[in-house]
Amino acid sequence: MVLCCCGLGVSLELRESELKLLKTLIELGGKATITALAQKMGVHESATYTPLMLLIDKGLVSMRERTDRLLKCTDEGRKCAEKGLPEERLLKALKRLGGKSEVSIVLEEACIAEEEVDAALGWAKKRGLIKLSSVEGKRFIEIVKEVEEVEEGKILKDICAKGTVEEYEYRNLLNVVSILIDRGLLEVEERKEREVEVTSLGLEVAEKAKPTLTKLNADIIRKGIWRHYSLQPYDVKAKPPKLYPGKKHPYLEFLEELKEILLAMGFEEAMGPYVEYEFWNFDALFQAQNHPAREVHDSFFIAYPREGAIDADQDYIEKVKEEHERGWGYKWDLSIARRYVMRSQTTAVSIRFLAQHKKPPIKMFCLSKVFRPDVVDAKHSVEFHQLDGIVGDHVINFKHLLGILAAIAKELGFEAIKFVPSYFPFTEPSVEGFVKHPKLGWIECLGAGLFRPEVLRPLNIDFQVIAWGIGVDRLAMIKLGINDIRDLHTMRLDKLRGAFRG
């Protein structure tokens, strides 16, 4: 139910919860804390927030925040409240001893601990209650002013008895409270409290508000009850709230789309380790051990363990060695091949697959991460995805390679693709592929070719194998319409909700 208030120079609609809160506030004298208001209404404080904010927006209630200082006794304060302050116990003991005695005797009579001596003598002397003197090397203490009770002790007992009190209650004794705080007998806890107050408009509205129906049912319509109420107007042009249902990250969706394309074309997916032997990452691909790509600035080397035993047949390793020494004309070093690196190309997975699958036909792809040292910026990253693929058969040729790559590009939505001659250590002939970007023009995105005989001979493979490696992140940037490679992994909701075209 909504309550309508008209004829006040304004037109306001109050929900039942708003009117209830408004009237409760008036019952409390027109001003109260939210805590007191909730207690009076018999609800949790959180239940007052929505109607309260609505009343504030309508100018019917105002709210201010105040900070209350609460006083409570410390553990030491409770002990002193129970036994008395050290100076109080000192005075009582001295009185029992006739008003004057040796300091050591008084302290023993008062049961004052060693750590309390300074406080007992210091505070009693500071207030002019005692005087100290020395006679023949002995220290004496004497009462000079008798009091029934030290003021600090009285206040301390009062606060400890109450548990927690507002500092405001002792506003006329703040100097005493301050001393107790400095002595570590009281502690202060600050509590923020919000106080609400009804405005003059709120008082007027609470008096004249009339009920308005927001919901109709068959009984209300049949009995004509609705005629005694005004109906709440609705804005039929109001836009519904935007909904943001959960969905996959656009980049992950792109990777899945790419996988589905290859699987639909009859390819088998293969995976390999991130930490790879140089043998599989370079040597098996006829990449010379002195090749620049194998330098520290182009590969991540593992510090520990630095090397391991190559997981390949000894006969295969020997044949790879022979190909290197015959083809490159240097002495091949097994210790280099044994070193661990972070995989710098998924072609390492392709050659591992060939070593286990030597009978045609072969159709394999690997979509996974590779790692290369670089300066991270909008176009470069040290970790990115690469798509490697191979097809092997007796009837396969270079034209098949170009056709497969064109088909993949078309499935991804790239209508234009072109190839130019290139060079790669493990393929011959070799090409680079470019796709057409509507704004940036031709973008290089892949390298491809036929595996060289030096790669296939150690495996005893006598048929052609076409191979390619695609820079997936670059394709994803084009497909998703972004200009910064770091945005491929963004967790920012504003970008994920609207910035990606894909």
CATH number for the domain harbouring residue 121: 1.10.10.10
| Residues 415 and 314 placed together within one structural domain of the fold | yes
| Residues 288 and 418 placed together within one structural domain of the fold | yes
Residue 388 annotated as binding? yes
For residues 494 and 398, the model is more confident at 398
| Residues 371/374/380/385 CA torsion (nearest 10 deg) | 0
| Residues 342/346/351/352 CA torsion (nearest 10 deg) | 60
Q: What value does the mean pLDDT of the chain take?
A: 83
Give the pLDDT band (50/70/90) at residue 9: very low
Residue 428 annotated as binding? yes
| Residues 427 and 471 placed together within one structural domain of the fold | yes
Residue 88: what pLDDT?
Answer: 75
| Residues 38 and 118 placed together within one structural domain of the fold | no
Give the pLDDT band (50/70/90) at residue 497: low
pLDDT, one tens digit per residue, over 141-168 is: 777 777 767 777 787 788 788 887 777 6
Residue 502: what pLDDT?
Answer: 43
| Residues 204 and 170 placed together within one structural domain of the fold | no
The fraction of the chain above a pLDDT of 70, given in percent, is 93
Residue 119 token pair: 């406080």
The answer to the question of residue 244 being in a domain is no
Residue 204 annotated as binding? no
The number of distinct structural domains making up the chain is: 3
- Phi/psi for 437 (5° steps) reads -100, 135
The answer to the question of residue 230 being in a domain is no
Q: How far is CA 37 from CA 1, 83, 198, 204, in A?
A: 22, 40, 12, 20
| Residues 143 and 18 placed together within one structural domain of the fold | no
Q: What share of the chain is helix, strand, coil (3-state, %, to 5)?
A: 45, 25, 30
Residue 490 annotated as binding? no
CB within 8 A of 421, min separation 6: which ones? 429, 430, 431
pLDDT, one tens digit per residue, over 356-397 is: 999 989 999 999 999 998 888 877 788 889 999 999 999 999
Domain end among 140, 166, 189:
189
Residue 194 token pair: 């919000």
| Residues 320 and 443 placed together within one structural domain of the fold | yes
Residue 426 annotated as binding? yes
| Residues 336 and 356 placed together within one structural domain of the fold | yes
Flag whether pLDDT at 4 surpasses 60. Answer: no
| Residues 330 and 393 placed together within one structural domain of the fold | yes
Flag whether pLDDT at 466 surpasses 90. Answer: yes
The answer to the question of residue 423 being in a domain is yes
The answer to the question of residue 232 being in a domain is no
| Residues 450 and 315 placed together within one structural domain of the fold | yes
The answer to the question of residue 300 being in a domain is yes
Mean local confidence (pLDDT), 179-200:
83
List the helix and strand counts (H, then E) for the chain.
Answer: 20, 20
Flag whether pLDDT at 494 surpasses 70. Answer: no
Flag whether pLDDT at 3 surpasses 60. Answer: no
pLDDT, one tens digit per residue, over 455-465 is: 999 999 999 99
Residue 129: what pLDDT?
Answer: 73
| Residues 299 and 409 placed together within one structural domain of the fold | yes
The answer to the question of residue 98 being in a domain is yes
Q: How far is CA 353 from CA 88, 234, 348, 362, 400, in A?
A: 91, 67, 9, 10, 20
| Residues 52 and 130 placed together within one structural domain of the fold | no
Residue 151 token pair: 């003021």
Buried b (16+ CB within 10 A) or exposed e, 21-52: bbbbbbebeeebbbebbbeebeeeeeebeebb
CATH number for the domain harbouring residue 301: 3.30.930.10
The answer to the question of residue 488 being in a domain is yes
Domain containing residue 429: 251-499
Flag whether pLDDT at 5 surpasses 60. Answer: no
Q: What is the pTM of this model?
A: 0.54
CATH number for the domain harbouring residue 25: 1.10.10
The answer to the question of residue 233 being in a domain is no
Residue 347 annotated as binding? yes
